[in-house]
Amino acid sequence: MTKPRPKHLNLFQIRLPLPGVISIMHRVFGATLFLVIPLLLYAMQLSLESPQSFDGLKSVMAHPLVKLVILGLVWAYLHHFCAGIRYLALDLDYGTELGPARASAKAVVAVSVALTLLIGMWLW
């Protein structure tokens, strides 16, 4: 006897395992980093344009809210990088079983957050 398919799928009740959450975050952070590229290129252009524009950019970057945004982008980059290494290992058939897959997903979160905290201490 087949189970009837649900008519209404409540996305808030679905609980993804940690590797699934890591996969979604990898994609979201990759898209975010891609969309931020023009802003970073503009900041680099300002820093190289003249000493006055460099000083202006330096004063904007000293604001705590801007530092927080930069720290968020650093975390996005580090998470995307660590998850990318994890996916390369999975493509090579390392850690594809359930236990190692969950452990590597936890390692991605731990390493990316630890490195972000180190960079955050240096930034502030």
Asked if 80 and 26 touch (Cβ cutoff 8 Å), the reply is: yes
- Residue in the structure block whose two tokens are 């679905």: 14
15 CB neighbour count, 10 Å cutoff: 7
Digits of tens for pLDDT over the chain (124 positions)?
A: 787 776 777 778 888 899 999 999 999 999 999 999 999 999 999 999 999 999 999 999 999 999 999 999 999 999 999 999 999 999 999 999 999 999 999 999 999 999 999 999 998 8
Residues in the chain: 124
What's the distance, CA 90 to chain centroid? 19
Q: Report the predicted TM-score, pTM, of the whole model to 2 decimal places.
A: 0.85
Q: How many Å is the Cα radius of gyration of the chain?
A: 20
Collapsing DSSP to helix, strand or coil, 99 comes out as: helix
pLDDT digit string, tens, across residues 15-24: 889 999 999 9
- Residue in the structure block whose two tokens are 């000083």: 55
Reading the block at residue 50, the tokens are: 């003249």
